[in-house]
Amino acid sequence: QLQLQESGPGLVKPSETLSLTCTVSGGSVSSSSYFWGWIRQPPGNGLEWIGSIFYSGTTYYNPSLESRVTISIDMSKSQFSLKLSSVTAADAAVYYCGRHVSRLIGSALDSWGQGILVTVSS
Partner 1 sequence: AIRMTQSPSSFSASAGDRVNITCRASQTVGTYVAWYQQKPGRAPKLLIYAASILQSGVPSRFSGSGSGTDFTLTISCLQSEDFATYYCQQYYDYLPFTFGPGTKVDLK
Q: Which residues bind partner 1 (CB under 8 A)?
A: 46-49, 52, 60, 62-64, 96, 98, 101, 105-110, 112-115
> Closer CB to partner 1, residue 8 or residue 115?
115
The CA-atom distances, in angstroms, between 118 and each of 76, 91, 92 are 26, 8, 5
Convert 35-44 to b/e letters by CB count within 10 Å (16 or more is b).
bbbbbbeeee
> Closer CB to partner 1, residue 1 or residue 32?
1
Q: How far is the CB of 54 from partner 1 (least distance, A)?
A: 12
> Closer CB to partner 1, residue 74 or residue 110?
110
Q: How far is the CB of 76 from partner 1 (least distance, A)?
A: 26
49 bridge partner residues: 39
Closest CA to 27 of 39, 19, 35: 35
Residue 32: Cβ-neighbour burial (10 angstroms; 0-12, 13-18, 19+): exposed
> Closer CB to partner 1, residue 19 or residue 49?
49
Q: How far is the CB of 101 from partner 1 (least distance, A)?
A: 6
Q: How far is the CB of 13 from partner 1 (least distance, A)?
A: 26
